[in-house]
Amino acid sequence: MRKLHQVLAVGAAIAVGALSAGTASADQAPDPQPAPPAGQDLTKGSEAGGPTDAQPAKGASGPAAAGLAALGPANDNFSFAQFLPSANNSISGNTTSATAEAGEPSHGDQLRSAASKSIWYSWTAPASGRVLFRTIGSNFDTVMAAYLPGSTPGIAGLTQIAANDDLVLDNSTTASQIRFAAVAGQRYFIAVDGFAGASGNVKLTWTTNDDFDAAPALSGPAEGSFATFGVHNEGATLQVGEPKHAGNVASTSVWFKWTAPFSGNATFETTQNAYDTILAVYTGSRVDQLTEVTSNDDLQPGNHRSRVLFAARAGQTYRIALAGFGGQSGFEVVNYKLVKRQIIAGVATAPEGPAGSSKVINMPVTLTTASPVPVTVHFATADGTAKAGTDYTATSGDLTFAPGQTSKTVPVTIRGDATKEATETFSMRLSNPTADFTLKTAVGSGTISNDD
């Protein structure tokens, strides 16, 4: 058969579901994202995700492939089905020169037309739960189906378990979407074809964490770095007993689970602003018995990205829900980081000034990460070569950081004199931090430089 001699590979996979990491300073937000262009504001509740590009007409093919693409795809034959990696991912392909095999079934065509230009994929479920495959973003009228292999080898042994022509039956989109209950470790075959012989470029995406129990585990991040994950939520659904996220019934939720590798302040943030997202964090092992830790809808008015900040405890598993406000959907990338909750006493220098004068030297105190709750630490000055009562005024007390605040100062009064002397120093010691913060640098120093 001609297809057995075709050698052109399908387009490379875009590994959007895999974790990636990058370096970030301890108090730096993960990769700041640009604000929407001037005048652009995602209207609250408007559908920003999904198939917003112009859709091909019913039965239409995409532009004709040129060059080597005309040789045909390597996964034209069922026996050469292309492996699909990871839990959530995206891959591209082309059906322009694809053909059908003898005995191949119809793959969801509304007219039950025979298969014509199909390509095949092989996927093994990483977890049990509902899985979604979709062709949103393809440039022709697609049909698709999922199959279970049988005891008989090849196409003859397949059992169709899901099939779809148009995601929406009113012809507003010619993309296809299938949903089925996957079993962990089971291999499935996915066929993508064209309605009535249509062909073109395929964009295939899949989502496996629609169900709470199928949530993939997120790893890391290492201290001082951040990690990311990407996911499509088109077609995701609400589960029985699922809580409202940030006070909203979010029907397009997908789930992740994350165990904190050490105690610190965790931040999860959506980055694309492509649709109106919601993020929520929970503890618990059942979708109908969760305890909310925190949640967020809009980062700020006019910017529908979401960000959650919470105090994570080492070894605790958290459930992360990502959803779209009002049922919105699309592709989203989430950055997350974990920073140890620490306090740093800093250093400061000031000239003493003329005899009889006094001035203030501000001793800096910083947090390595913002806290969602107030943080208090005790401070007290102590003599070095500078002496309390003659060179500076001793001070002590409690310093309180408001939620979100990361830097403050302790004012220390220093006294000028007419004596020529060497530079003098005093110290400021921190103690008794609250809110699970620890002291990274417990002692800071103040330097009084002589200007006589």
Percent pLDDT > 70 in the chain is 84
Task: State the pLDDT at residue 15.
Answer: 34
Q: How would you label 408-424 residue by residue, b for 16+ Cβ within 10 Å and e otherwise? A: bebebebbbbeeeeeeb
Domains and CATH numbers, the chain: 49-207 (2.60.120.380), 212-339 (2.60.120.380), 342-449 (2.60.40.2030)
pLDDT of 32 reads: 37
Given a cut of 80, is residue 212 above it in pLDDT? Answer: yes
Query: Over 60: is that where the pLDDT of 398 sits?
Result: yes
pTM: 0.76
| C-alpha pair distances (Å), 103 with each of 115, 118, 158 | 9, 13, 11
Question: Is the predicted pLDDT of residue 151 greater than 50, yes or no?
Answer: yes
Q: In angstroms, rounded to a whole number, what is the distance separating the alpha carbons of residues 225 and 326? A: 33
The reported pLDDT for the residue numbered 420 is 74
d(CA 293, CA 291): 6
- The residue type found at 426 is F
pLDDT at position 353 is 80
Q: Which two tokens stand for residue 54?
A: 């112009």
pLDDT at site 62: 72
Strands of the sheet containing 89-94, edge to edge, are: 89-94, 201-207, 129-134, 177-182
Using DSSP, state whether 451 is helix, strand or coil: coil
pLDDT of residue 242: 97
Q: Contact 283/256 with Cβ under 8 angstroms?
A: no
User: What counts of helices (H) and strands (E) characterise the chain?
Assistant: 0, 28
Q: 146 falls in which pLDDT band (50, 70, 90)?
A: very high
Is the pLDDT higher at 163 or at 422? Answer: 163
Q: Quote the DSSP letter at residue 197.
A: G
Confidence of residue 440 (pLDDT cuts 50, 70, 90): very high
Would you state the pLDDT for residue 424?
94
> What pLDDT shows up at residue 407?
97
Is 17 within 8 Å of 86 (Cβ atoms)?
A: yes
pLDDT per residue as tens digits for the range 42-65: 445 544 444 445 667 766 677 755
What is the per-residue pLDDT across 155-195, written as a single tens digit (0 to 9) for each? 999 999 999 998 875 556 789 999 999 999 999 999 999 99
Q: Rounded distance, CA 350 to CA 197, Å?
A: 80
Q: Give residue 97's identity as a one-letter amino acid code.
A: S
Instruction: In whole angstroms, give the CA distance from residue 272 to residue 275.
Output: 8
- What does pLDDT average to over the chain? 85
Q: Name the β-bridge partners of 376.
A: 400
